[in-house]
A and B are shown apart, each in its own frame.
Chain A
Amino acid sequence: MNLTLHTNSVHDLKGAARRWRHAKFQFLVIALSVSLLTALISVLLQVGVVVGSDRPDFVGSKAKLVTLVRTNMSNIVKPVKGYHAEKLEKVEGVSKVAKLGVERSQIKVGKTLSDEVNIGFLNETLIELLTLPSDLKSLETNTQSVFVTAGFWQKYLSDFNVDEKPQITIYDTKTPYIVAGIVPDSMSRWSTLEIGVYAHDSQLEHFAPFRLTEREKADPQKLQNNIVYTRNYLRGAPQYYVFAKIEPGISIPDLMGAYGLVDLDVGNTVEFVEEQHKLLITEGVELNPITKNKILAQWQALLFLSSILLLAIVSSLLYSQIGQLIQRKKELTIKRAIGAKKADLFKECSLELLPNLIVSQVVSFGLYSFALTQMSNSETLTTYFQTEALAVDLALFIPVSLLVCLLLCAVFSLPYLSAMRRMTLSSSKSDSLTSSQLRVLKYSAFLQKVMLVTSVFLMTLTVHEIKKVADANTYSLDVIEFQVLSENYVALSENFKAGNFDNRFANKTAISFDSFVNPVAMRDTVSIEGQTKNAVEATSLHVSGNLFALANIKLLAGKSEMSRDEAVVNQHLALRFAKQLELTNLDDLLGLKLVVGGFMNTKVVEIAGIVENVPHYGFSNRERPMLYKPFSTIPTLLERGFFALIQQPHADDFEQFLTSWADENAGSYSIERESLVSRQLFNMEYLENTTRRSALLVSGILALLLLFNIFHISRTNLQLEEKRLGALLAIGANKKALSIQNGLAQVVPFFVTLPVVLLGVVISRRFLEDNLQVNIVNGQHFLIAVAVTFSLITLINILCAKHFLSRPISRML
């Protein structure tokens, strides 16, 4: 007789392989649960560490901001194709054009990262104007070099050590450019330049030269060199930016009045102009508290969803283990009788779990990497986090992985170890469970039903509600924009103010001093009356009240029609004030008096309404405070024209009407018809691309897992009831009737779970509603979830019972 007995470890491993061969389903459930758990904890910790950090500069936490640049810098940004500088150069009286502008371009860095970014362009004139080091002038001759902003560097290139001056190539539509240096982020914000003069006009003759200072009068040639024009093409709406250096003490209103400027913005001192021609390291930027709160809220939502998942996984494992206990009780008792210690059983359980742990940890690493990639690619998150901060971190993953493995071994062994106390080898009692085990089974089953309803509910919400909201907010407006410019603009605007168009095209037109899509806006300092210290800089637009309805800008509170002493603010600005006044309800802000101070005058207005945040600026996704003033309050000085929106299909009629009207009233004029205005809300894109997909994935996996568990619960219950069912069948009960009875047996317990689900939903509202921008307490979807879940559980129970009872009756007795 050939007798081979392996060593203990080999014996245990072979036993594990044998067991999982017979329990493939359970193997999958455990492996999936554990991989989800590990990935989830790793991601949460990683994001949590960043969000939880109280460093004000966590945006730049891993790479300090580099303000400017290298000694002997040889290159600077050069305009790339598509830039319209040549048109500007034809303008009479301008000898040089500073090509400081912004374009949206597809940039590729390395092999994997690609994103749309803004590229800034500089030229010699601007370098001189901004008193940048003179040796930068030569950069213009090198067309293969670019400057990047500090933000770009942090986001994509922070792996490089700036001190080593690495040669980095980035690609703009396959054209390679060498990164020549880093400029601060403020370079891409016009307001921080020394002075920026804005006009919305496409005709350059509207710009007059600045009044000369005494010194400049003595040197007219220098004036020419100091005036810089730039042009920015966005969706066909041209803008010109003029940058000039002015001496301190010049009266801005005088300057504007004298030269017919429509808007003027005085920025701060150029912070990046440094005398030192070497690398300067400065502190990171302070994170806007609102931004931080937003991230924290997102993290809380993630945490909440994860805790649901965690609860489901733990309860599922517990149930699964107690189910296993029923099957293995005899084996465990025998082992106990022959002298197995708890440590022996723990070791056996752990070895048994080895295949699960290996598979699950490999899968979890994949999930963890996938989640981080998804998060890194989401626009919102990369706005706030560095890519580097969200990269795979083995120093974090490995301890989490070990911890989860240990926890799993404990969860896996505990039911066995605790059950060992009350085991009997009497054949009549060996199949029964203790009352505490039955209690755990009952609560675990209850919990899983709650989880299932909740996850199906979240799924229906995810699929329907978020999609609905996203669709409702991502659309092309059915309007056409007309731009009317005239020398006789006063008469024109008075005519509009009188509502002539409104009467003819009632509810189909809206007028705005600034374009809806691409406005050339003014900046005002806005503060609550009596609290001028906490002033906020807001972008002002003069609009007619029906602009909001026509442009589908949602009114959140109050009214959209404004009298001359009223204004509408966007949610961003409203929240700033609400925070200052510690108010929680936007309605409480209505009627609040604001002091609006521009460079022309100061005025007190009341908040008449609050509208949602809308990105008025074509390529800026950032929310900004907006103040909408009544169109009728445009200072005469500034009126040179206006924009009008008209709904399709009335555009042709409106153009005809507008032309005939302008012929009569406007003197010399120009009317430009713009293409359809497209409105894509950034948040909705984010919702579509990230939140919806993630929520769907999480709830889908959760629901699948729980469905498996419901099947398991049903099977375990049947095993517990085996003898009773066998006895009933033996005395003539019908198998079909028993199956249906089994399916319906959970009606009462199921509906008992509903109040708990409702409670969970109400609690979840706080965490999720603001972040997902959906109405969590949605009765219709809740009912759908209940109906779907109930049907699924009933069906599973019936099928399970049918299969279970198909065995010969003798085997059940």
Chain B
Amino acid sequence: MDLERQSVMQKSVPRTLINLQNVSKNFVSGKVSYHAVRNANLQITEGDMASIRGTSGSGKTTLLCIIGLLESLSGGQYDLCDFPTTQLKEKQLSILRNKNIGWIFQNFNLINDLTVAQNVCAPLRYNKSLSSKAYTALVTDALTEVGMLEKANAFPSQLSGGQQQRVAIARAIINKPDIILADEPTGNLDKENSAKVMSLLQRLNQSGATILVVTHDLDIANMFPIQYQMDDGTLSRLHV
């Protein structure tokens, strides 16, 4: 399967990006089995901006990890950009993670011994279709987009939480992915910075990016036109 060509071609046609059907995830610890996700069904189409809310331990992060191809399924079917992920090999999953998904984490997850620019550039280094000559221009664009260009040569430890999250967003968008997944993106930020991040995400959505956010914060969740609720591993759509 030529994932690279197919993923580029499909960008021009509106389509369902995420299609979960009866997806479940069990964790086994010794003799005890724990159902983190139970028969979840979810469809996200291109240009959507959706949130999944839920209390701690409800399974929302696990679900996001499944969607982001960081966890495998215990049951069900998951198609990402029309690719049946359960049938893909690890190498193909890596390509999907690199080109089709952009991740934003609650604790930013920047690599501390790399500069801001190097952190943002990291996904490009795993994108074999790009020449290293293009790195500088792409990184400059991404950092400009999030307003962090002046901090390009700083290290993460020299930045505030809000700045770090903006760098993380720049990293998430650098490869122009089909979908941006955000796990509690404002969880470690104050109100002012939370607002900035949310504003940035909304701007990205307006420019065509598909965004799925997991949060326990109702105020944040309510900002999204499409909302899901996660309770004890069960996913349900809220009609707002």
Contact = CB atoms under 8 A, between A and B. Distances in A.
A342 B90 contact: yes
Interface stretch (B47-55, B118-126, B192-200): B118-126
A165 to B, nearest CB: 64
A335 interface: yes
B70 A5 contact: no
B140 to A, nearest CB: 6
A339 B136 contact: no
B107 interface: yes
Interface stretch (A127-135, A280-288, A365-373, A424-432): A424-432
Nearest to B94: A341
A218 interface: no
A338 B126 contact: yes
Nearest to B96: A339
A336 interface: yes
B65 interface: yes
Contact of B105 (A1, A18, A425): A425
B132 interface: yes
A334 B94 contact: no
Interface residues of B, number: 41
Contacts of B140: 1, 3
B136 A5 contact: yes
A339 B123 contact: yes
Interface string A331-368: 10111111111111000000000000000000000000
Judged by DSSP, the binding face of B is: helix
Interface stretch (B15-23, B38-46, B149-157, B232-240): B149-157
A656 interface: no
Nearest to B98: A339
B117 interface: yes
A715 interface: no
A172 B229 CA distance: 97
B111 A334 contact: yes
Contact of A338 (B118, B135, B171): B171
A618 to B, nearest CB: 70
B99 A1 contact: no
B95 interface: yes
B94 A339 contact: yes
B123 A338 contact: yes
A424 B183 CA distance: 12
A11 interface: yes
Interface in A646-674: none
A245 interface: no
A3 B139 contact: yes
Given A339-B99, A339-B127, A1 B152 contact: yes
Interface string B123-167: 101110000100110011000000001101100000000000000
Interface of B: 61, 65, 68, 70, 90-91, 94-99, 101, 103, 105-107, 109-111, 113, 117-118, 121-123, 125-127, 132, 135-136, 139-140, 149-150, 152-153, 171, 175, 183
20 contacts: A1-B149, A1-B152, A2-B153, A3-B153, A5-B121, A5-B139, A18-B113, A333-B109, A337-B68, A337-B70, A337-B109, A338-B98, A339-B94, A339-B101, A339-B123, A340-B98, A341-B91, A344-B94, A425-B183, A427-B106
Given A1-B153, A338-B103, A341-B90, 7 more contacts: A5-B139, A6-B132, A7-B132, A334-B109, A335-B122, A336-B97, A427-B106
Top 10 A-B pairs, shortest CB-CB distance = A339-B98, A341-B94, A339-B97, A7-B132, A5-B135, A338-B123, A339-B126, A427-B107, A337-B103, A334-B109
